[in-house]
Structure 1
Amino acid sequence: MGTLKAWMDYLNSINGKEHDSFFKPYKEGKWSKAAIISHMMFWDRFFYEERLPHMLKGETLVGITAEQVEEMNKKAEEYAHSGITLQEIIDEALKYRQMLLDKLQDEDLSRTFTIKDRKISLQEYVNGEIEHDEHHLKQLKAK
């Protein structure tokens, strides 16, 4: 299992390089790499702003619907292609991931909360985020 930091390592490895290809679909019918990075940043922001404060209090969180997921993913893709630079997307993605890491650093990851009638620990949630990172890192690193 990787860590939430592996995502930042990847972003830092491409930081400062100009990649025109990042705004083209990485494969036929797929998102661009810029959209994938934007997608990750949107979800980190959601985790940090909307989820984490409630998780840390052990509260019950409402599940999000497939429509809400689709809507956020669509907004992330539109944002990536709104004229913003790859550098701006990377900077924002690094900022939100660092904020998450800073916030989680001193927390007890065994703390539990409830989501969709299921009790899970912060560590389990983070593990899901790491799997999500690994899924998209494979896409981003594909030649």
Structure 2
Amino acid sequence: MNPIVDQLTQWKDYLERIKEGTHKEFFQPISEGKWSKAAIITHIMFWDRFFYEERLPSMIEGGSLAGITAEDVEEMNKDAESYAHSGISLYEIIDGAIKERTRLVENLRQLDLSKSFIINGNQHNLESYVKGEYEHDLHHLIQLKELGK
């Protein structure tokens, strides 16, 4: 077990805990001009899928990846928010998010996290990248937990 990868399971644990009960408020903005809780969950699900499908294969190969532009981030975030409010149920969102996180974690557990790769000409390794993903999780976990869910 790798403690850095294991930290990513905290997001999955959170999703499992909130799965029970009624969550009508999950589709309401958390505050004026902000996303809903459902959109936040979908946001992380979309980023997990992007990491696993679009980034990880090149990282494993020690390849060179382009950076992510602000426009790319904005587009993915809009897609995530649209999906969250497309009429899909919260349970489908949670199940999808758990599936994506499980797939990512299971794959990462099999990898050498010292493997290096290049992003925008700068050398990185999987360990530092996973740490960044965990910090992103924490930001949203704190945000959601402060709201009582």
Report the TM range for the smaller structure's normalisation.
Answer: over 0.9
Indicate the SS of the match to 1:28.
coil
* 1:12-27 correspondence to structure 2 within 5 Å: 12-27=16-31
Write the distance in 1 (CA, Å) between the matches of 2:65 and 2:32: 37
Aligned to 1:104: 108
**CA-to-aligned-CA distance 1:80-129 (integer Å, 9 cap, x gap):** 00000000000000000000011011111011000011100100000000
* 1:1-143 correspondence to structure 2 within 5 Å: 3-143=7-147
Q: Give, as a single letter, the amino acid of the residue that structure 2 aligns with 1:3.
A: Q
**Offset, 1:39:** 0.3
**TM-score (ref. length: structure 1):** 0.97
Write the distance in 2 (CA, Å) between the matches of 1:64 and 1:32: 24
Q: Give, as a single letter, the amino acid of the residue that structure 2 aligns with 1:139.
A: Q
Write the distance in 1 (CA, Å) between the matches of 2:146 and 2:30: 8
Indicate the SS of the match to 1:27.
coil
**TM-score (ref. length: structure 2):** 0.93
- Structure 1 spans left out of the alignment, 5+ residues: none
Q: How many residues align?
A: 143
**Offset, 1:16:** 2.8
Indicate the SS of the match to 2:7.
coil
